[in-house]
Structure formats: structure tokens, C-alpha cells
């Protein structure tokens, strides 16, 4: 199976997915790392690993989301992926873009969905006094952060946690969860992964 990974920044989740696909027993392999930011540090990391990369800067498109997405699709479809993994990709995608990749686009979100959709999830969980937090891998559908859940990982909230310390703990689990989910999804197994 051919996997395209979309990033916006450091690409730590992308790196873990690529690393895992590099192990001999994996049913998938990376064919493209694409970013909406030409300066995304993850692009250089992917290129250093020999993975084809591309960037479509969203800024020149200003409010013209369909034109931005047409440029994305051109790069994506040229790589002929079977699966798209959004990994720290920070742009909202329109229902028509999502429909084009229906059933084969995944995203990782730093909360235990359906709780805390959207941004600033760690600060919001702390403000709400949560004792547990975590991350979710889901299929991408037209509703933001609401598609079928393919995996979840839980972490404890610790006394004195700040959004940064909690985010770091969650990110560590993202790096375990996403590769585990992709291994199953790549062979058509949608049994949710539950960690720990």
C-alpha cells in the first residue's frame, strides 16, 4: 500500500510512521510527504530519508480554499497513494476534498475524541480538571475531528501539569498509536487500537 503523509510543521508523527514502514514486515510504504508550508522542518527530514516531498504554500491562495486544494490534489494524485495520513496538518479541508479520499484518509488528534474537538486541547482539558487525556486516530469525514475512531491512547494528567508537559506526554503516545493504527488500516483491519 502506498502512503502519502501531510504535515505542517516538525513532522514527528510523520517520522514515526516512516520509521515503522521501514521495518521489513510492514504492508505499506511512504510515497510522498507534503506540506502546506514550504519551510516545514519535516520536509527536510523526509527528504533526508529519501522520501519524495512537495509543498503547496496555502498563503498565496488566501481565501480560495478550492484552488489551494486543487493544487494539493495535483501533488497527491501524482504520487498515486492508497492512503493519506494527516499528521500535524493544520489546514481545514473542504467536504469535496475529503470526499475524493473518502475511506482512505486518517488523522491524529490530540484528545480523547469525541471530547475536545478543535484546537488547544491540552489547555482545555487541564482547565476542565480532567484526570485523563490522550490522542485519537480517526478516519477523516466532513465533520471536523468526528470520523470513525481507529485508535485511542490514554495518558494520566499529573499534578502540576502545564499544557506543554501534558502535550509532550500525549505526543509520545501519538508516536506509538499512529504506527499501530496504520499497520492495521493498511491491511483493511479497522479494529480500533487501544493503548495502553
The catalytic residue positions are 109
In sequence order, what are the beta bridge partners of 125? none
Min CB(60)–ligand GRF separation in Å: 22
Cell of 57: 504554500
Among 30, 81, 88, 179, binds ligand GRF (CB under 6 A): 88
Determine contact, residues 140/97, Cβ cutoff 8 Å.
no
Residue 171 burial (CB count, 10 A): 18
Binding part of the chain for ligand GRF, among 12-20, 30-38, 95-103, 157-165 by CB under 6 A, reads: 12-20
By C-beta, is 13 or 36 nearer to ligand GRF? 13
The secondary structure of the chain in percent helix, strand, coil, rounded to multiples of 5, reads 35, 20, 40
Q: Which of 3, 6, 11, 145 binds ligand GRF (CB under 6 A)?
A: 11
32 binds ligand GRF (CB under 6 A): no
Binding of ligand GRF by 5 (CB under 6 A): no
Q: Rounded to whole angstroms, how far apart are CA atoms 67 and 79? A: 19
Q: Which residue, 72 or 187, is less far from ligand GRF as judged by CB?
A: 72
Q: How far apart are CA 73 and CA 101, in angstroms?
A: 10
Residue ranges binding ligand GRF (CB under 6 A): 7, 9-14, 87-88, 108, 110, 171, 174
Amino acid at each position: 500500500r502506498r502512503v502519502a503523509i501531510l504535515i505542517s510543521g516538525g513532522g514527528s508523527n510523520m517520522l514515526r510512521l516512516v520509521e515503522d514502514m521501514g521495518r521489513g514486515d510492514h504492508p505499506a510504504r511512504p510515497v510522498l510527504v507534503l506540506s502546506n508550508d514550504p519551510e516545514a522542518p519535516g520536509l527536510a527530514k523526509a527528504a533526508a530519508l529519501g522520501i519524495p516531498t512537495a509543498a503547496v504554500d496555502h498563503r498565496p491562495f488566501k481565501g480560495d480554499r478550492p484552488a489551494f486544494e486543487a493544487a494539493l490534489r495535483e501533488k497527491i494524485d501524482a504520487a498515486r497513494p492508497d492512503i493519506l495520513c494527516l499528521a500535524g496538518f493544520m489546514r481545514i479541508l473542504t467536504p469535496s476534498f475529503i470526499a475524493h479520499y473518502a475511506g482512505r484518509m486518517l488523522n491524529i488528534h490530540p484528545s480523547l475524541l469525541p471530547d475536545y474537538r478543535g484546537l488547544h486541547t491540552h489547555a482545555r482539558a487541564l482547565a476542565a480538571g480532567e484526570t485523563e487525556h490522550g490522542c485519537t486516530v480517526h478516519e477523516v469525514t466532513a465533520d471536523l475531528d468526528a470520523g470513525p475512531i481507529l485508535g485511542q491512547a490514554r495518558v494520566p494528567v499529573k499534578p502540576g501539569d502545564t499544557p506543554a508537559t501534558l502535550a509532550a506526554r500525549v505526543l509520545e503516545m501519538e508516536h506509538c498509536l499512529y504506527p499501530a493504527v496504520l499497520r492495521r488500516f493498511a491491511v483493511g483491519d479497522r479494529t480500533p487500537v487501544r493503548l495502553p
